[in-house]
């Protein structure tokens, strides 16, 4: 019994090293030219992304979730304003009234004021579950 265990202990690392060396020498797979066996391509396992089932639609985020995602971008930056503007496209007016809702911030012409307006409303949104 001890001899069998000793033989396995010596042969197992050698087999692992041989497999590692064999795997390291193969060239990377080229998606345009898949490996061939004869005239048929070798079956690739796990290369496709899982497809959505019928009737199962991708969940779209609510406006509040989109605004909270913008909150993760550094404050006072153009990127955060661009994120907010992606949610509500800006439509500047010469003399906008005071914003009573977050969607009315898009009417503010000055970018800094518009960012402050969006931030004020986005800070008040309760944290939603993901």
> What is the C-alpha to C-alpha distance for residues 120 and 104, in angstroms, rounded to an integer?
12
Cβ contact 86:71 at 8 Å? no
Residue 83: per-residue pLDDT: 92
| Per-residue confidence (pLDDT) for residue 58, from 0 to 100 | 45
Whether the model clears a pTM of 0.85, i.e. scores above it, the answer is no
Residue by residue, DSSP assigns 47-73 as -SPPPPPTT--PPPPPHHHHHHHHHTS
The owner of tokens 């069998």 is 4
Assign 119 to helix, strand or coil.
helix
One pLDDT digit (tens) per residue for the chain, 130 residues? 888 887 877 777 777 767 766 665 555 556 677 777 778 877 766 655 555 554 444 467 788 888 888 888 888 889 999 999 999 999 988 888 888 988 899 999 999 999 999 888 888 888 766 5
């Amino acid at each position: 019994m001890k001899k069998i265990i000793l033989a396995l202990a010596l042969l197992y690392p050698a087999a692992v090293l041989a497999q590692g060396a064999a795997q390291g020498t193969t060239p990377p797979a080229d998606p345009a030219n898949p490996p061939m066996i004869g005239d048929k391509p070798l079956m690739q396992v796990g290369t496709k992304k899982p497809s959505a089932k019928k009737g199962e639609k991708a969940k779209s985020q609510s406006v509040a979730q989109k605004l909270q995602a913008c909150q993760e971008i550094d404050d006072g930056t153009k990127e955060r304003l661009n994120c907010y503007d992606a949610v509500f496209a800006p439509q500047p007016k010469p003399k906008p009234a005071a914003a009573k809702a977050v969607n009315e911030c898009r009417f503010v012409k000055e970018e800094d004021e518009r960012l402050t307006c969006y931030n004020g409303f986005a800070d008040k949104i309760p944290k939603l579950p993901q």
